[in-house]
Amino acid sequence: MSIKLATVVLVSVAFFASSSSAKPAPRNARVPPIWSCAGGHGLHPDPEDCGRFYQCAPGHRPFHQSCPAGLHFDPVLLVCNWPGSLTTPCAAELEMEIPVDEICPVPIPPSHGTMAGSDVSIGATYTFSCHHGYQLQGASSITCTEEGWSAEYPICHPIRCGVPAVRSKAASNKIVGGHEVVPGSQPWMVSFQHPLYPLQNANLCGGSLIAPTLIVTAAHCFRPLNKPQTGWVAHLAEHNLYEDEGHEQNITVKDIIVHENFVYDVLTNDIALVRLSRPANMDDWVSPICLPEEGEKVEEDTLCTTSGWGYTKPLALNEYPEGELQSAVLQEIELPVVSNRKCATKLPDYEIYPEQMCAGYDEGGIDTCVGDSGGPLACKDDVGRMTIQGITSYGDKGTCAQPAKPGVYSRVSSFVSWIHEHVTEQEWAVIRSYV
C-alpha cells in the first residue's frame, strides 16, 4: 500500500457518506484519499474537523458522524468532549503532516450477490457474483487504479429470459443473406465444438441456452452413433470463433439426451437436451432464451430471427460448400414463418409433421445453411421477449436459400412436456422462475 503525506489545513471536508447512500465512483474519476481504517474497526477522529469522527466497520466505507455543537471528538476516550478537556490536542487545529493511505473506497457488495477481495490499494481487485436466480449486470471484477475503481460497482438483477442486454440490429436488415450480429445481442447462442475435429475452433452445431446448465439443440448433431458421444465443449458468449474477446465461457458437456423417437432418415423429433458439467455464469453476455408454452402456435408470416456460424452462400441441388465452410462471426437473419400446409406444397418430397414448422422467403436468397443446425428460430412473444419457437433442422435435399424452398425446424412448443420430463425439478423450477 502506498503512503504519502498530506498537509492538513483548517478547512473541513466531508470525505465520506453513509454506506446506504454511497455511490460507486464513476470510471476514471479521481477518488479522494480515505483516512486509513488500518488502525482497526471502531471510532477514529477526522483529521480535518475536530467536531467530526468516523466509524470503520467490516465491508463498509467509513461512516462520518458529528459531535454536538461546540464539542470536539476525543481520540483517546472516544467520546465528544469540551475542547479544554481533551486528553490530546485536536489534529485539525494544528498545521502538521498526517499520513494518509492512497486507496480506493471499500466496494459495496451487490444486493443478492457476493464479492471477494480484501485489499483496496492500487492494483487490488475485487470480483463479484450473484446468488441463484440472479445475473450480474456490469463488470464481474474491478481493479483499484490511480483514477479510482476501473468500473462502477455491478448489480445483480433477476434473470430474465429472452431479453439481451444489447439490442440487435434493426429488424429490416436481412448464414445466407444475413448480417453480423451485434456482439452480445444473442446471449443464449451456443457453439458446439469437439477437440477431435481437424479444424480448430470449428463450429459443428448451434444450440440455445435455456437454463444455466441446459441447452436445447438438434438431435442430428449427435446422431448417428458414429459421431462422438463424449468430449463435446459448449462455447458460450462466442462472436468471432477465432478471436478471444474476453467474455467467452467454454464448458464441457456432461450429458446428451436425444429424443427417444428421433428418426435420422426423416429427421422427426429432431431435438436434444445438453446438460453442462457446471452452470454457466449469467451476465450481460450469457443469459437464457425463453421456452414457449406447450402447444403454442406462431402465426403465418411472423418474422422470426435465426442465427449461426454456418455457410453463407446459397447451395443448389448436388452442390456442396467449397473453401471456407463457415462464417467466422455469428450471423443472423429474419425469416417469415410459413404454414405447414403451404410448406408441404413447396416441399412435396417431404412429409411436414405437426412437430415441425417452416420459415423462409418465396424468392429465396436468405436461409439457414450447412453448419447452422441446432440453432434457434427465435420469435418475440407478447411482451417482447425472444422465445425459441424452432430449432434449425434441414433444407430441401441439402440445399440452402433456393426459391420457394423454406427451411424446416423442430417446433419447440411440441416438446415442452418432453423437456420437463428430462430435466430435474430444480432445473425446471429455474426455467419457470424467469421473469
Using alpha carbons, select from 175, 224, 198, 211 the residue that is nearest to residue 367: 175
Asked if residues 212 and 283 have their Cβ atoms less than 8 Å apart, the reply is no
Using alpha carbons, select from 175, 116, 216, 170 the residue that is nearest to residue 427: 216
Query: Which of 46, 49, 74, 270 is the catalytic position?
Result: 270
Q: Is position 373 annotated as part of the catalytic site?
A: yes
At a CB cut-off of 8 Å and minimum separation 6, what does 9 contact?
48, 95
Using alpha carbons, select from 254, 263, 194, 225 the residue that is nearest to residue 410: 263
Q: Is position 132 annotated as part of the catalytic site?
A: no
Asked if residues 192 and 231 have their Cβ atoms less than 8 Å apart, the reply is no
Distance CA 198, CA 181 (A): 27
Query: Which of 373, 393, 410, 413 is the catalytic position?
Result: 373
Distance CA 429, CA 415 (A): 17
Using CA atoms of 220, 247, 251, 327 in order, give the dihedral in degrees to the nearest 10.
Answer: 30
Query: Which of 220, 239, 259, 422 is the catalytic position?
Result: 220
Asked if residues 130 and 110 have their Cβ atoms less than 8 Å apart, the reply is yes
Q: Is position 220 annotated as part of the catalytic site?
A: yes
Distance CA 166, CA 168 (A): 7
Q: List, by residue number, the catalytic residues.
A: 220, 270, 373
